[in-house]
Amino acid sequence: MRRFSDVTRAVAWRSIHHFLTQPAFLVPALLFPLFFFTAFSGALSGIEAIPGFDFPSGYTAFQFAFVMVQASAFGGVFAGFSIAADFESGFTRRLMLASPNRRGILAGYAVAALFRAVVVWVMLMVVALLARMQIDGGAVDLVGLYTLAALVNVTALMFSAGVAMRLRTMQAGPAMQIPVFLLLFLAPVYVPLELLEGWIHTAAQINPITPLLELSRDLISGQPANLWAYAVVLAMFAVLVLWALTGLRRAERAGG
């Protein structure tokens, strides 16, 4: 019988090993954020010349903040794919039979999701520095930015884990990915919220991703930050932890 920490370590190491050694996991995780960053910050850079766009650090930094949030969220979702794959292969069922505290399984996947996110963050920052992105935030601001990104990552994981543990098949992939995709792209991605019009402005106003995105941009530009966005992501995390834990109980009752 394995203790909580042993199960967490085993699941985390297995997921990290698969991520680093299997191109099907590693390549999309690295290429998608890089594609969005280079495409948005390059092809759309003329947006910063339109009236009303007053982001002080430039359009590259404006889009870097979005891609950080996006990559963190999808890092959690892709970790959910690993959970579904482990159910299909029978690995999770065997692990549940050997584990007295099954919450360690969920914690292990969370550690692996954070590792994946850190790898992507490092790559994005290197590319951004090579592109001479302007960073006006100080060290404390950058710590706040990466703390926010980590919270987004584990929150997205809890959502995808809840789906994966209920359905226990890779066919659950769209159910994990599409809701997160819609939330991200109904936020003010290309221009500030004030420049949006019509139904997309209304959707962005009520979208819980919007305050997180605005906070990330305030932090990277060194502007006064509205820290209540941390309360938003923490509330989302608390709700989705319950979602993931109830999904884990369903998987236990189903025998993994």
How many of the other CB atoms lie within 10 Å of CB of 235? 12
Contact by Cβ (8 Å): 169, 84: yes
Residue range 63-71: mean pLDDT, rounded: 93
pTM, two decimal places: 0.92
pLDDT band at 140 (very low <50, low <70, confident <90, very high): very high
Distance CA 67, CA 40 (A): 9
Both tokens assigned to 28: 């999309």
Confidence of residue 4 (pLDDT cuts 50, 70, 90): low
**Which residues are within 8 A (CB) of 232 and not within 5 positions of it... i.e. 6 or more apart?**
208, 211, 212
Tokens representing 224 are 């006064």
Interval 148-173 mean pLDDT: 94
pLDDT of residue 81 exceeding 80, the answer is yes
pLDDT given for residue 119 in this prediction: 92
The mean pLDDT of 138-150, rounded to a whole number, is: 95
How far is it, in rounded angstroms, from Cα 187 to Cα 70?
A: 11
Residues 36-59 as b or e (16 or more Cβ within 10 Å = b)? bbeebbeeeeebeeeeeeebebbb
Closest to 209 measured CA to CA, from 228, 240, 183: 183
Average pLDDT in the 52-77 region?
91
pLDDT band per the 50, 70, 90 thresholds, residue 111: very high
Question: Picking from 109-123, 124-138, 174-188, 242-256, which range would have the lowest pLDDT averaged per residue?
Answer: 242-256
Mean of the pLDDT values across residues 61-83?
92
pLDDT given for residue 256 in this prediction: 53
Q: How far is CA 74 from the centre of its chain?
A: 5
- Domain boundary assignment for the chain: 4-253
Q: What is the pLDDT of residue 179?
A: 95
